[in-house]
Each structure stands twice: as structure tokens, then as C-alpha cells.
Amino acid sequence: MALTTRDGGFYLDDERMLLVSGSVHYWRLERLRWGEILDCVREMGFSVICTYIPWGVHEISPGEFDFGEINPDYDLDAFLTLCEDKDLRVLLRPGPHVNSEITYFGFPKRVLADPMVQSVTADGTPVVFPSPPRMFPVPSYASEKFYQEVGIYFDRVCPIIRDHLHPHGCVIAVQADNEMSFFLRTQPYDHDYSEGAIFLYLWFLNEKYHDIERLNSAYRTDYDSFDEVPPPRDFNARNWDDLPYYLDWIEYKEYYLQHGLARISDMLRKRGVATFMYHNLPGLCIKPPYNQIKMEEIVDAVGFDLYYYKEEYHKVKRCIQYLNGMSRAPFIPEFASGFVALPIPVKPIMLDDAEFTTYAALMYGFLGINFYMLVERERWVGSPIDRFGGVRKKRFRFYQRFNRIIKRINYQELRIKCEGILLINRDCARLELASSLLTPIPILGGITPEYYVSEDDLGFDDVIQLEYGRQWDALYYGFGAAKYAVTIGDTELPLERLSEYRVVAVPSFDFMSRDVQDKLINYVKDGGCLVMGPRVPEFDEHIKEFGIIREYLPKPDGRMDEVMVEGIELKDADIFDTGATGAVSVLTADTGTIIYQQKIGSGSIIHFGFLFPRVTEDVPAGLTGIIDRIAVACGMQRVIPCTDPQIDAAVHIADGADGREILFVANTRMGEKDVDIGGIYLDPDSEEMVGPVIRIPAYTVRILEVASHDR
């Protein structure tokens, strides 16, 4: 296999490469224009392209296909040969799901019409995806009939792919399926309840527990066999004893997606597609039912598709940071270049959106990106090249300049500097999803969990499913506004990955998986600084007593309903007497210590014992002040002095002996800003020295090279 990942980067034939490509759909273009269109792609600075292979377009009838025998525009072999002639490398996406704004998302209509293929709702009805121009029933990825149909298609297309695999051909990577996400209907009690899916659920339980008595112990039940366990169809938990049943259902939803990805990727490999294999998830998929670590045990890389407006900077940032914290090589399989031309009630993504979000993504350290689309076609507008080979000058020049900049700063040799990592607490995130009371949720609704989760405390001190997201957001926005280099990860990360960071932060409540508690305490003993709160876990994932972290920490002496600190209101604040354990006070209120630092082994735990208020990107100065107290106790340093939450910054450091530092500074909102960047820098564009204060226009990312810097 020629394309590989190691040391957080892509390598082709053992040479490090930045994987920058753009989508060109051969079957949507006149074959006579392929050559001139590909020449335009090269002129923009791209040496890699990407294309789907749509099953539903190529299938004439069951088992019969047109790959150029009837319509010359469908000749995949000829297109790949032309790419080889023009020294272009190719990423191939054979599906079976391709979306691609095709009616039925690239599946043959006859396949979706088969009841044995269809996914089923909790009410026993087919699951319908409301995509224009025509709704359709979606397939079940637990249906054996579905995989039989896919196998017939793969039998025809895989020999063409094999003939063009690198090194003797142009294909350097293949994507297994597309946006594995329950067709964006991810609410837990929506689907899939088909016969195959229920069988898969029981298989999952058997695989997890092995013995029905172990399940009965976890669930507080008395089933005689796994076959008796019904899948939950609504959230009916009354107390914490009921939770393991529902938490397992969410873990199964993750397992279902992994099963589908494994089946598709294995089918490709068994047909000789032995190459780098990847998958794409739709947007900000950093919580269940998605599981990055498990999915990258199946394929070589998993990335996110990003279609965001300039006002959605933080969605771009979170996606890229999460990929940096989790993936072997941060890769964006689709990044908006133009916009879908279908009757949907959203505004188009314009060039100014693409300009800002592209550089925002660059700022946080991707190592692969595919611009979707470089070439227009039906149902898509706003690309730099039209379907006839003409160019749209502003868009064309933008991508030319982008490719020049990444080469000039030798971007593939840079690594973003991160002192800390903020973890998604997968136990809490599973509870958040499990406690949903709304099914399904409209795809374009923009509805966040606090509007649809149960507000029952289930016997815990806090309404965990409501407060978890608020505490995570407070830490995310707080570290960002205070300008500390903190990326994003997940409690699924192994200890050796966590040990790469000076600081690990995670919102914690009354329960946490045993393996996560063990991992975090070992991280601390080995010298790390763990920031956690508001509570210290006392139970494991089965809500059985287990508090290995609690053993090392002082217990609260009391609790205040509300405490005012640094001008912000903190709720349900535990007060600690630090004398008994030798802990050091980090922050006190009028009533006593509310944040302390406890040394354990070679490291320490910083515990905040209160609920932050709901925080958005308009970060109050008081939150920045609290985060400063925590960061200083951890030994962290700011990236730049500025603490304006509208300004963001990241430092990249070059591999090797030269140690170049590149500073990215972003103005993420409206209005020009004068920004203290704390030193003198070289502006590569003007080749002038700038700083320590620079002016940054609205929605702009400045890229500067360190000249001298006093910290």
C-alpha cells in the first residue's frame, strides 16, 4: 500500500505529502471536455482529484452495468487512464452510498424499494429520508439482502479500480461508503428496528457480556437468554439503576455504524482493493453514535465533511481540533467549494464563507483536504470551474493562492502546538443521547440537546444529561478565549495518547467507566495534570460503586446553591477543606475553596466543584479569569496576550532542526480588531515585520512567521 499514515501525517511512497485535492465527477461532464477541465485543475495547483462512482447511475438493470459501453461519459476506466496521462492522483469513492445530490443518493431505486433492504422505525414503518428532489426509504446496514446487492455491484466495479491502483495507476486511496450516520437520523429511538438490526443488537449484547447473568447483574433483571432482551424504543428510565440498559443501546448504535463500515470495507478488500481506505462523517460528529477510535480500527482514517458559513467558525474549529486530537491524520474528505442547487431552505455558502473557513481549518492543522466541488455540474453551483471548462476568476484565484501559500510555508512539515486536550466524556455523552425525548429531530432544525433531553436527575446530584454539555462548552470557550493551546479528544483515547499532553481536562459527574477512571488516575501518577469537575465519580458505567479517583481527593464540607466569583454566578458549588489531604487552594469564594489542586504521584488533579453557567462564544471576562487560575496552576502559557473572545490564535512548529514557528491569528466575527500578538513577526505576504499590535479585518486569518518573541 503506497499511501500510509504515520507521525500524524500522510506519506506516499515514503515521502511526506499534504493531501490536497478537489472533486471532479466524470459522469456529469462531457467526455470530450475531460481533458481541458483537468488541465484547469492542474493550473489551480492541484495534483490530486476525487470522484464518486455512483452505483445507481451505472446500473442498467440488476447485474447489468454501463461503464462506457453505452454512454461514453460513464467510462470510468478511460477517465482514470486520462488522469494517469496527466499525472494526477485520484481518490475514489465507490459507495455504495454516495449522496452527491443524486436522487436516491446513488442507490438503485429497485434496491431501496425492497422491504428486505429497508431500515425500520420503532413503530415498524420504513425509514424515509426527506431529501429533495424525492424522498426515499433508506437501507438497513444490518440487512443481508442489502449486502448481497452491494456485492453484485462491487463485483463489477472493483476490477476497474484494481487496474488503476497505485503504484502502477493513479488511485492512491478509496473511500468505503459515505457519511455513515443513520442517514442523518441519529436520535436513539428512531431506527433501525429491522429484523437484521435486532439480531445485530442481540449479537452485540452477547459479545459484550458473554453470559446472560453478567447482563442481568448490570441491568438488575432476570432474563434467561439474550434473545429475551427487547431493544428500547423510548427513554423510560426512572432512576440510575435503569441506565445501563439505555447506555448499552447507545453503545450498540455506535457498534451498528462500525458493523456497516466493516462490512463495506471488507467487501472491497476481498475484491482486491488493497489500498489506503478511509471514511467520511457528516460534520461535527464528535459524540455518539460516532466513535472515531473504533472506526479507525476498521479503516485507515476517518474524517469530517465540513460545510459551514463564516459565522460558524467554532464548528470548523471543533471539527479540526477533534481530528487533531483523535485521528491518525486529520483529513477533511469534503470541504465546501460552492453549494448545492436544490430547493432546501438554507442560504448558499458564498466565496467569502469559503475563504474564511478554509483558512480557519488551516489554522488548526489538517493534513488532508478535498474541496467539494472544483467543477460544477447539475445540482451544484459556485465552483471555480464550470462544466464546460470555463473558470470563475475570483474563485479560481483563491485556490491558486491557497495552494501557493501552503507550499510557501511548507505546511506539511508544521505541527500545531497543543499543551492540553479537552475530552468528550463518552459516558456522559451516551447518557445525553440516551435521554432524548424527541424522535426524529428535523435535519435542519439546529436543535441542541438541552432542548430535548429528559430533565429528571435520575437520583444523581445534577441533571447530568443537561449539565454535561454546558460544562464542556464552558471549558472549550474558556480555554479558547484565554488563548491556551488546548485541542479536543475523547475518553476513548489510550493512555499513551493522553500522556502527550501536559494537561487533560474533562467534565466529570457521578459516574464514569472503570477503564476511564483507571486511565485518568494513571495519567496523573505518571506526571500529568488532570482538570475535572464539577463532581468526582463514585460509580462505574453500570452504576456500581467504583471511585478510584475519589480515594485521592478531599470530600466537600458543604455546598452553596450560588456563588459569585469574578463577576459570574456559579451554581451548586461544593466547598472544600484542603488541609486534610494537603491540597492547594486554586480559587476561593467567600465561603471557602471551590477549586483545589491535589498532588498525586508525579502529577496532580485540579478539581472545580461547581456548575459553570451556560456559555457561548461571547465569553464573559470572569470565565477567562477562572480558566487563567486553572491554567497557571497547570503551568500553561498563553499563545498570545490578547484575551478578546472574538480573536483566536494557534502556533504551528516545524519538524526538524529549523524549529520555525508560524502564528495564525483569526478575527472570528464582524468588525476590525487591534490585536496584541506579543512580539514581532514576519508577514510572508508583504515580507514586512509587524507587531506587537496588528489590525485584523472581520472574518480574516493572518498567517505570520515568528521573528522574535518575548514570553
Residues 563-602: b if buried by 16+ CB within 10 A, e if exposed? bebbebebebbbbbebeeeebeebbebeebbbbbbbebee
CA distance 90 to 99: 19
Q: H helices within 117-242, ranges in order? A: 144-163, 195-209, 212-219
CA distance 34 to 74: 12
Q: Exposed/middle/buried for 688, CB within 10 Å: 0-12, 13-18, 19+?
A: exposed
**Per-residue pLDDT, 711:** 40
**Per-residue pLDDT, 709:** 46
CA distance 198 to 229: 10
Q: Which residue has the cell 476497474?
A: 160
CA distance 140 to 120: 8
CA distance 711 to 698: 27
CA distance 601 to 526: 7
Kindly give the parts of the chain with pLDDT less than 50. 709-711
DSSP string, 271-304: TT--SEEEEEEESS--STT--HHHHTTTSSEEEE
In the chain, count of helices (H) and strands (E)?
A: 17, 34
Do residues 669 and 699 lie in contact, with contact meaning Cβ atoms separated by under 8 Å? yes
* CATH code linked to domain 647-709: 2.60.40.1180
H/E stretch holding 498: helix 495-498
CA distance 177 to 663: 37
CA distance 118 to 123: 14
The Cβ of residue 326 has, within 10 Å, a number of other Cβ atoms equal to: 24
CA distance 234 to 190: 9
**Per-residue pLDDT, 685:** 82
CA distance 212 to 227: 10
Q: Give the three-class secondary structure for 72.
A: helix
**Per-residue pLDDT, 445:** 61
**Per-residue pLDDT, 131:** 86
Do residues 48 and 21 lie in contact, with contact meaning Cβ atoms separated by under 8 Å? yes
**Per-residue pLDDT, 710:** 47
CA angle 354, 12, 281 (to 5 degrees): 45
Do residues 338 and 641 lie in contact, with contact meaning Cβ atoms separated by under 8 Å? no
- What residues contact residue 591 under an 8 Å CB cut-off, 6+ apart? 558, 560, 563, 575
Do residues 261 and 176 lie in contact, with contact meaning Cβ atoms separated by under 8 Å? yes
User: Hey, which residues does 511 pair with through a beta bridge?
Assistant: 539
User: What is the reported pTM?
Assistant: 0.96
Q: H helices within 49-194, ranges in order? A: 55-58, 76-85, 109-112, 144-163
Q: Which residue has the cell 429497485?
A: 110
420-634 CATH pick, 3.20.20.60, 3.10.20.30, 3.40.50.880, 3.40.50.300: 3.40.50.880
Do residues 594 and 559 lie in contact, with contact meaning Cβ atoms separated by under 8 Å? no
How close are the terminal C-alpha atoms of the chain, in Å?
A: 45
Residue 453 is classified by DSSP as: B
Enter the C-alpha cell of residue 420. 492540553
- What residues contact residue 2 under an 8 Å CB cut-off, 6+ apart? 12, 13, 166, 167, 172, 275, 276
The Cβ of residue 440 has, within 10 Å, a number of other Cβ atoms equal to: 18
Residue 513 is classified by DSSP as: -
The closest alpha carbon to 186, from 288, 55, 338, 261, belongs to: 288
CA distance 28 to 71: 11
Do residues 17 and 7 lie in contact, with contact meaning Cβ atoms separated by under 8 Å? no
CA distance 430 to 248: 9
φ and ψ of 531, to 5 deg:
-105, 120
CA angle 24, 78, 92 (to 5 degrees): 45
- What residues contact residue 8 under an 8 Å CB cut-off, 6+ apart? 328, 329, 330, 367, 415
The closest alpha carbon to 40, from 410, 378, 373, 409, belongs to: 373
Show me where the domains of the chain are located: 3-121+136-187+259-412, 420-634, 647-709
Q: Give the three-class secondary structure for 361.
A: helix
Beta strands in 517-660 (DSSP E): 529-534, 556-565, 568-576, 584-589, 592-600, 603-608, 647-654
* CATH code linked to domain 3-121+136-187+259-412: 3.20.20.80
CA distance 369 to 323: 12
Do residues 634 and 531 lie in contact, with contact meaning Cβ atoms separated by under 8 Å? yes
C-alpha pair distances (Å), 342 with each of 108, 308, 310: 20, 17, 21
Q: Give the three-class secondary structure for 119.
A: coil
Q: Determine how β-strand 603-608 pairs with β-strand 529-534.
A: parallel
Amino acid at 631: A
CA distance 592 to 653: 42
**pLDDT for 640-689, tens place per residue?**
999 999 999 999 999 876 778 999 999 999 999 999 999 999 998 888 99
Cα-Cα-Cα-Cα dihedral sign, residues 315, 316, 317, 318: positive
User: Hey, which residues does 332 pair with through a beta bridge?
Assistant: 369
Enter the C-alpha cell of residue 641. 496576550
